[in-house]
Amino acid sequence: MSDPSRPYARGLAFRCLSETKYHPGMGIKDDLGSLPHPDMFKMYPGKRFPLPKPKAEGRGLFLALEQRRSKRRYTSGTLSLENLGALCYATQGVTGQSGPFVLRTAPSAGALYPFETYVFVTDVKALDQGLYHLDVREFALVMLQEGDLSNDLYRGCLNQAMAKKAQATFVWTHVLLRCAAKYRNRALRYIFLDLGHVCQNLTLAAAALDLGCCPIGAFLDDELNKLIGVDGVDESVVYLATVGLL
């Protein structure tokens, strides 16, 4: 990317995001050759000290931790607005202020939150079908596009059926510069770490509400960027998660 108005797009972090995109009909091209599969666990031979497991009964968070599973099959029906609100709150609810920083339910390096949250609504009470953006400070969804976009979303998610069946699908884009202006190329690490926290909050909240939820990392980058209406450089889709009735 040699756009003189965006010199930062030449930086390692931006190039890495761009060069690891999926494109229709092809995998990632690289020069790594075949790679060995490392062991899935590291084991030290020393003495084991068994730990007590938390008792889940009546303990919301621990019950949600125990019950969370990636669930990809949903029944038809309508998701309540209360539940969608609770899920949005879990991901990005505002819980404090520290100087200029608007603090949220999920941590973020430097409190910079270098991402945006979008929600595809397919069947949610009191909301028209369409694409929405989450206004974090007003805690409101802003409609960007009206209509049933579930087929486009399904294709963008490499034909994963859950994207068509879900009542709502969260999509997170990076806004890398928000973080790179301070952390330079190291910002690349933080966007993924930050969004891991955000998505885990969503999966736990969904478990607590007896809803199905599944993260999605396999998608066609440019197709989804186009669908959302972002340019793929300053802002680009990095992660999604479906939510559906069980």
Exactly one of 85, 110, 130, 215 binds ligand FMN (CB under 6 A); that residue is 215
Distance between CA atoms of residues 174 and 24, nearest Å? 21
Nearer to ligand FMN, 72 or 226 (CB): 72
E strand segments, 45-114: 94-98, 101-104
Per the document, the length of the chain is 246
Considering the rule CB under 6 A, would residue 16 count as an interface residue with ligand FMN? Answer: no
Q: Please give the size of the binding site for ligand FMN, defined by CB under 6 A.
A: 9
Considering the rule CB under 6 A, would residue 12 count as an interface residue with ligand FMN? Answer: no
Applying the rule CB under 6 A, the residues between 133 and 162 that interact with ligand FMN are 160
Considering the rule CB under 6 A, would residue 21 count as an interface residue with ligand FMN? Answer: no
DSSP state letter for 129: S
Applying the rule CB under 6 A, the residues between 156 and 195 that interact with ligand FMN are 160
Question: Encoding tokens for residue 69?
Answer: 């599973």
Determine which helix (DSSP H) or strand (DSSP E) holds 241, and give its type and residue range: strand 236-245
Distance between CA atoms of residues 214 and 25, nearest Å? 24
Exactly one of 87, 187, 214, 238 binds ligand FMN (CB under 6 A); that residue is 214
Chain residue at closest Cβ approach to ligand FMN: 217
If 0-12 CB within 10 Å is exposed, 13-18 middle and 19+ buried, where does residue 210 land? exposed
Considering the rule CB under 6 A, would residue 202 count as an interface residue with ligand FMN? Answer: no
Considering the rule CB under 6 A, would residue 216 count as an interface residue with ligand FMN? Answer: yes
Residues 54-83, one symbol each (x = binds ligand FMN by CB under 6 A, - = not), give: ---------------xx-x-----------
Considering the rule CB under 6 A, would residue 246 count as an interface residue with ligand FMN? Answer: no
- The CB density around residue 38, as the number of other CB atoms within 10 Å, is 7
DSSP state letter for 151: H
Positions that interact with ligand FMN (CB under 6 A): 69-70, 72, 160, 214-218
